[in-house]
Amino acid sequence: MLNASYIVCCTCTWHAVSVQVIAVCKSADLLLMVLDATKPWYHREILTRELEAVGMRLNRSPPNIYFKKKKTGGVSINSTGPLTKMDEKLVLRVLQEYKIHNCELLFKEDCSVDDLIDVIEGNRRYVKCLYVYNKVDMCSMEEVGEIARRPNSIPVSCHMRLNMDGLLGKIWAMMALVRVYTKKVGHKPDFSEPVVLTSDRGGTTMEAMCKQIHNTLTKEFKYALVWGCSAKHYPQRVGLTHQLADEDVVQIVKSKIKAEDGRGRFKSTSDKPLRIADREKKPALKT
């Protein structure tokens, strides 16, 4: 958690403090925009507009548009559904502005022109934001209820310590952290240092957990045993595509290391011939 400084309105492109704050915001998993409940509500729109002007999108998901540049072939535009916010002529005009004459576009949802521009630019940062309204002890009950009903907003009072537990629960719910505990073979699970996964940084699959532990673990991965909410039975044998849940216990089993002769560290087959005819006959016992 990092406490950022202020943002100078309409000067975020050149003010030194604002540039540093924006750089911190782009690398954050969750933004807490602390606002004064006694001040006008348009302060929220001003700060949101300043952040969107530098390529940040608050509480929005990336548009479901497939875009690929090509060397030849012209422009190919397709959609899985009707486009109500723009037509094909407007799409071609936007592509001409960016000097793109050969590409492939597939709209998988009803998107706007701004969404298309964001996909073409490719440098947009989609961040979750929680609007925290402070000093609610100086507001009426009607105003507090109106703040609480607004999306992604929560009223608090730092002076009187009001709704601080609700703020902590809201932060945990919006970050959607998944804690996974590891277990060695024949040992108890290690509940001291969990592996923390998020959907925004790599995902919450078994493959993402293996990559976070070590880069080469996915190559040596054979299967894993899972105990927890994501398992149908205890333990469940899963692969790399399994989705993990919070407070799951995972035991990873690696494949055997092959030696130069092609065998593993432990022999899984016998050296004897498979057919009886190929076996060597022992000499008769002397009597």
Look at residues 90, 83, 9 and name the one whose alpha carbon lies nearest to residue 46. Answer: 9
In this structure, what token pair is assigned to residue 225? 């045993």
**For the segment 167-205, what is each residue's pLDDT rounded down to a tens digit?**
999 998 898 889 999 999 889 999 999 999 998 888 899
From CA 225, how far away is CA 236, in angstroms rounded? Answer: 5
**In the prediction, which pLDDT does 255 show?**
86
pLDDT tens, position by position, 74-96: 999 999 989 899 989 999 999 99
Determine the pLDDT at residue 281.
73
Read off the pTM. 0.72
pLDDT of residue 11: 45
CA torsion angle 97 100 103 108 (round to 10): -20
Strand-pair partners of 130: 32
Residue 253 has what pLDDT? 92
The pairing of strands 103-107 and 65-69 is antiparallel
Q: What is the pLDDT of residue 202?
A: 84
Res 12: pLDDT: 46
3-state SS string for 83-143:
CCCCCHHHHHHHHHHCCCCCEEEEECCCCCHHHHHHHHHCCCEEEEEEEEEECHHHCCHHH
For residue 188, give both structure tokens. Answer: 């108890």
Q: What is the pLDDT of residue 272?
A: 67
Q: List the chain residues with pLDDT less than 50.
A: 11-14
Instruction: Kindly give the interhelix angle for 16-26 and 42-52, rounded to the nearest 10 degrees.
Output: 80
Q: How far, in Å, are 172, 237, 245, 272 from residue 249 at the CA level?
A: 20, 12, 9, 41
Burial class (CB in 10 A: 0-12, 13-18, 19+), 129: buried
32: helix, coil or strand? strand
Name 30's Cβ contacts closer than 8 Å, sequence gap at least 6.
Answer: 127, 128, 129, 130, 171, 174, 175
